[in-house]
Amino acid sequence: MPQLFLPPDSEGLAPALRGFARAHEAHVVLSEDPVYFTARDRSPVRRVALVSGGGSGHEPLHAGFLGPGLLDAVAPGEVFASPHNRQVYEASRAVALDGGVLHIVKNYTGDKINFGIAAERLRADGIRVGRVLVHDDVATESDETATGRRGTGATVLVEKILGAAADRGADLDELVALGDALAARVRSVAVASESLTSVHTGERIFELADGDLEYGVGIHGERAATTMPYTDLRTLVARMLDDVMASLGSLSGDALVLVNGLGSASPLELYAVFDALARQLDDRGIAIGASLVGTLVSALDMHGFSITVLDVADPAWWELWRAGADAPAWKETNR
């Protein structure tokens, strides 16, 4: 049986959150009632605070991206559960600036509801609030999926570019417009060869036969509509890219790509995936303007990966992407 070295349910997330805060005390401050993190430093030019959050279990998302050039506050929920609206409200009040607060929200029902309630409370306090909804997962792009595309790996790219724009003094309306434009031009898809381990039972939440892959898996361990036999990496990545590009359509600029580990995929595996993806993009005549490779949006210990492609439709986005940032999990792009 797989083993997750997490505190028992009776202790909740408190030890893990305290550990993160102590490990990164130069970057973050932890509030424990209600639970939220704030960045210790931010640009004095910033007029609008950036707040995100969601269920725990996706580390380093979101708290790993707190700091100058990225987020101001993060509300972490229980494992794979939305933060309570009080957490979002208090986190937002703690960092609100004269120009208001921007909520960056992944497209999940609980997150939308709780961020929405918090936004109503903030507006009642006289604080302007905007929202950017990240919805990049092509596996849930279907007329049969009432909720639409889930928010997954693209969240990191959106947060980085919006963070840079905020540090240049963009106002709330400008940030919402930029975030919506980014969310419209980015898509992801994920696969897994082994499911994650439940924090409650210690068991894998589903089983796959040897040699099978779950194609289109979610970052909460959701099973996909398709289980397929693994053939080879190049063929698999080609299929994933086909699905991403079918949703995006033709690109109007160079591509910003993310190869993201889902928890237990090794760096060696992720670089092999990136090589296969880069070759596929080369074959299609699509230039890679920049890339990230690593585990940035995990699903506990799931063995799998996702690919994300952002069509950099506006050349000004590149300058924002390459702007400096300082956060526990941030690393500079490789080109």
Q: Which of 58, 62, 84, 303 does the annotation list as catalytic?
A: 58
CA angle 137, 142, 145 (to 5 degrees): 90
How far is it, in rounded angstroms, from Cα 221 to Cα 304? 11
Closest CA to 72 of 47, 52, 88: 52
How far is it, in rounded angstroms, from Cα 299 to Cα 80? 9
Bridge-based pairing state of the strands 303-311 and 28-32: unpaired
Contacts (Cβ under 8 Å, ≥6 apart) of 137: 149, 150, 151, 152, 187, 188, 189, 190, 216, 218
- Which spans in the chain are helix H? 14-23, 85-95, 109-124, 154-167, 172-184, 233-248, 267-283, 316-322
Closest CA to 159 of 298, 31, 49: 49
Contacts (Cβ under 8 Å, ≥6 apart) of 207: 195
How far is it, in rounded angstroms, from Cα 190 to Cα 194? 12
Number of helical (H) and strand (E) elements in the chain, helices listed first: 8, 12
Q: Which of 27, 103, 135, 220 does the annotation list as catalytic?
A: 220
Per-position b or e across 66-90, b if 16+ CB within 10 A of its CB: bbbbbbbbbbbbbbbbbbbbbbbbb
Tell me whether residue 58 is one of the annotated catalytic residues.
yes
How far is it, in rounded angstroms, from Cα 49 to Cα 47? 7
Tell me whether residue 62 is one of the annotated catalytic residues.
no
Longest alpha-carbon distance in the chain:
57
Closest CA to 185 of 122, 248, 237: 248
User: Among all residues, which ones are annotated catalytic?
Assistant: 58, 220
